Amino acid sequence: MIGSYVAVGDSFTEGVGDPGPDGSFLGWADRLAVLLADRRPEGDFRYTNLAVRGKLLDQIVADQLPGALELAPDLVSFCAGGNDIIRPGTDPDEVAERFERAVARLAGAVGTVMVTTGFDTRGVPVLKHLRGKIATYNGHVRAIADRYGCPVLDLWSLRTVQDRRAWDTDRLHLSPEGHTRVALRAGQVLGLDVPADPDQPWPPLPPRGTLEIRRDDIHWAREHLVPWIGRRLRGQSSGDAVVAKGRVSPEDIRMRIGAAV
């Protein structure tokens, strides 16, 4: 039974898109921590989230891995490389080599290292042209997982997150329901009896007309795409001034999830 968990990564693992009642983010890793803590006596579970939005693989390795190694938990979730892959000119083969070196360090010091693949971006306007590049990186991640005995949180195969309701308004980060489904899938990967099926179909949506879709696309481009491109051109990161959550109690997460409903 897992008694300690450290989450390492970028905005996906920090929980961007899943705000709690105070505005700070929850996310799939926090929700997974609750699922894990529910299997332990009260107070007998330690959870630390070191993830920070916008971070590249080398930044995650330099800033977060030492803390994870020092804590030597039973479980580390390691999600990194996505921000590298979406940058122009990056080579998924080379990124995977650096990813493997980090996995090797973790695998030699912690109980279990769970790695994650990237999402299938077929429906994401800005990222759908990177689908082949992401698929190549995913293939490397799965091969690395095989070599080091890592469970794989396969986000590419989680078909229910193809629904637009699984995504925040920025179309780059998951919504609360999307994060919930990923947490449930992560629990399944770790062999937990989860309280709901992450593959449960969404309720039907009424059809949308062309004009409504175009209006939504224009609003999204103005509110999210243009600022995102601007930050890239200025060399800025959304995580430049962000501090990791650090140690978080599952009891606090439960209360924040309940208050956010």
Quote the CA–CA distance of 213 and 203 in Å, as a whole number: 19
- b (16+ CB within 10 A) / e for 235-244: eebbbeebeb
Separate counts of helices (H) and strands (E) for the chain: 11, 6
- Partners of residue 25 on adjacent β-strands: 19
Using CA atoms, how far residue 30 sits from 23, 150, 225, 248, 253, in Å, is 15, 20, 27, 8, 7
How many CB atoms are closer than 10 A to CB 52? 24
Residue at token pair 């590249």: 56
Residue with tokens 């999210």: 224
Identify the band that residue 6 occupies on the pLDDT scale cut at 50, 70 and 90. Answer: very high
* DSSP line for 153-179: E-STT-GGGGSGGGB-TTSSSB-HHHH
Instruction: Give the span between the Cα atoms of 1 and 40, in whole angstroms.
Output: 8
pLDDT tens across 55-77, in order?
999 999 999 999 999 999 999 99
pLDDT of 158 strictly over 90: yes
Mean pLDDT, the chain, as a whole number?
92
Residue 143: predicted pLDDT: 98
Rg of the chain on CA atoms, in Å:
18
- Cβ within 8 Å of residue 259, ≥6 positions away: 20, 21
pLDDT-wise least confident of 101-115, 131-145, 235-249: 235-249
- Which DSSP letter does residue 172 get? S
- C-alpha 20/C-alpha 103 separation (Å) is 31
3-class SS at 90?
coil
Q: Is the whole model's pTM more than 0.85, yes or no?
A: yes
Beta-bridge partner residues of 114: 77
CA 222 from centre of chain: 25
Express each pLDDT in 83-129 by its tens digit.
999 888 999 999 999 999 999 999 999 999 999 999 998 887 778 89
